[in-house]
Structure 1
């Protein structure tokens, strides 16, 4: 697994696998095997106890994505404690940019869809940035950009995903089971105690982590929140004589599983939507599709760039070393690649044809944002080569 794991840790490979999974989903949903695909996605799997009789698609959405958010949470925790975000002046820029990149798309979506009852929850769809795709495009198209640009995008995307998870926890929590939530809190406390006591055996951690996920799911809070909560409770600093911290070890071991299995399988079941001429037409005529499309492509660019440059202008933050404002605009365009989390929120906020339309808008926006960002990044590469 060592060589394969190293291969899967590269951003280009993770993004490529995700792209292949998306293409397979679209082919399966629109080809002769469509009935088989939908039957597999909608097949129930698991015991009825604690509401665990979920469909295969739900297991991908609630279970596998918890691993993705656990890895993303580990990255955020490491950045906050020992990385770029540990220094306030450096941390402010991606945090401010992430907030701007969530607020502006949401406001644009609400403005376009004002009065449409579907927008009651669907305004949250364009708030998220996909880490895997965004970093994959950056790695392919921006070989000459300074490392600070990648750190900025990574930090922004991780903070962005944390904000999206908070929105999921707040907006999409319907029924709330206080007893299950209390059990989840106790289990999180136990996980933190095991970390504090420097316990390393997986024979204790695996049952605690699984039980925490089950308790969070049973509480009515979206189960992916368990991944972020556990990650933020993981120890980051290595002890004297310790080769690496638990955070770094877990990130190293689990990132290939997240990039190579969890996220692609989620995409395989989430991106399989029927594509027709009506769907493409509705992207520009239906206010729901237009709100998601404009929110991601325009809202993300304006929100990230505007808030970041305003913070720099006011002296509240500073650009990373050797990163110019033009570099920032090119990187900010990648914020419009919503994909994974946006597809998840579309699943949670809508049903039937409306959900399919919103997902089509997410896919279209992610494609447009990727292509525009690639053009801008290649131009920045050429400009840096010429200078």
Structure 2
């Protein structure tokens, strides 16, 4: 039972498959424009506007390539980049690959908050970028008003570009609308919003993502992007555009979020009943559990002896964090039958023994 990776073990919703079928027999089987198919860029502008689809939107091969191309546009050797940890494993290697220097800010639990003092402590004249993730993998929450205020102030006073990974933006489990970097940082040349269809539509293999930025910054991102992948698959771009433009898109998101919230709450209840402190996340489909033991050793035992894979929270930090040593992340973007079987195996292994 692979609860370690944020990979779905089922296909996308029927509406998404129908959109793919509708475009599959068409003639769009050659290269799309490198900046992204105009139909998809228009759909994204309609969802995120006001944005100019011709100058402010770049479609990439997933959020990961969008991030890579953005860093290529922003970083030169010796530049410093603030990364708020725990952080997705791709962030730091891309920065160092371009000769940048990572300056981490470490939060130890979902209850910790990012503030201006923590950012000031790692900011220098060489600071060019800050990378944030909201909604946040693995913490399962969004940056709050005060955290965004601190980030926006850094951008406005120091000219630091805010790169915000918002891949889970549509998966806020209480149904509240997501407010990210486009709403928080006023200058479009000091902000990049990165997102994708992967988690929203359960199509991680489609590799359709995007970077949204001001015209000057977008031109630089596109200059890098065209020499990385040139363009994602044209039929998949068109299928994503159909879903985004559909009048049923909001209902699709509501249904997805409702089902995800039920699965997450149920699994948290299972772990809590086993004496493992676990909190219901605010967003996304990851839960953090305190297993009360070294998380790496615990995960090894679980996967080898009981066939349930989780991921130690420690892998999201660049240096050991004692407060995270016993924390395990579970990815719950799975079929109900998968989670039921994982719960059964965990209960068989961890349930308190009953007196005879």
Taking structure 1 as the reference length, the TM-score comes to 0.27
Report the structure, 1 or 2, having the larger strand content: 2
**Larger % of helix: which?**
1
TM-score by length of 2: 0.28
Which protein has greater RCO, CA pairs closer than 8 Å, 6+ apart? 1
